[in-house]
Amino acid sequence: MEGELPFRDRAQAGTALIAPLIALGPRDPLVLAVPRGGIPVARILADHLDAPLDVIVVRKVGAPSNPELAIGAVGTVGEPVVDADLVARLHIGRDYLEREIADQRAEALRRQAALRGDGPPTPRWDGDVVVVDDGIATGRTAEAAARLLRPGTGGRLLLAVPVAPRAGVERMQTVFDEVACPYTPEPYYAVGQWYEDFRQVEEDEARSLLTRG
């Protein structure tokens, strides 16, 4: 579907993901959404699979002169993902990097509590874990999620995204056991370019979707 907008909104994107994900044969799955954009997509999949839904909160680590430029990503626990080559090219010092990682980890913890309360995170899961987002660009957020989840996953670690660049899917296939992605259009600049409606998912809507099941 190159040159077209494949998705009306995130709900339609979730519906488009059902068949590719089912083809991977998820066993006793736990669905984990990357907030907030991944939550409407993940809700569709969790409902179809009759699977529990939770969140995996990962924050981008931005460059000092350009916060939108991801030099890494970090979750609520676990080791951060850092693009060492990019950090070296931008001459980013260790002090800045450590401070930015600490700040973003604190923000990840705050957002996790805002979305799901103070309850304990989902314990080690013996089935397959499905990480869901509304798309990937650099893939660093998904990579950080995989590193965070791998030690507590007894089954396969799967990634389900509606749209991604081909190079991004190839990279994710080295991090996840399987990747479901129905659309890999080129040229690819941003996730939002493939949606007619890509408005921000508000916190109240996100909480409602998480608790609906």
Query: Which pLDDT score, from 0 to 100, does residue 119 have?
Result: 66
Query: Which pLDDT score, from 0 to 100, does residue 76 have?
Result: 85
DSSP 202: P
Query: Which pLDDT score, from 0 to 100, does residue 143 have?
Result: 86
For residue 120, give the 3-state DSSP assignment. coil
Query: Which pLDDT score, from 0 to 100, does residue 2 have?
Result: 45
Using CA atoms, how far apart are residues 37 and 58, in angstroms rounded to an integer?
12
Query: Which pLDDT score, from 0 to 100, does residue 3 have?
Result: 47
Query: Which pLDDT score, from 0 to 100, does residue 10 have?
Result: 97
Question: Which secondary-structure segment (H or E) carries 55?
Answer: strand 53-55
The closest alpha carbon to 71, from 58, 87, 57, belongs to: 87
Domains of the chain in sequence order: 10-56+126-211 (3.40.50.2020), 59-116 (3.30.1310.20)
The closest alpha carbon to 44, from 163, 134, 167, 124, belongs to: 134
- Residue 146 in contact with residue 116, Cβ under 8 Å? no
pLDDT tens digits, the chain, 213 residues: what are they? 444 678 999 999 999 999 999 999 999 999 999 999 999 999 999 999 999 999 999 898 999 988 878 898 888 877 888 889 999 999 999 999 999 999 999 999 998 899 987 666 666 789 999 999 999 988 888 888 898 888 888 999 999 999 999 999 999 999 999 999 999 999 999 999 999 999 999 999 999 999 886
Q: β-pairing, 70-75 with 81-82?
A: antiparallel
Query: Which pLDDT score, from 0 to 100, does residue 1 have?
Result: 43
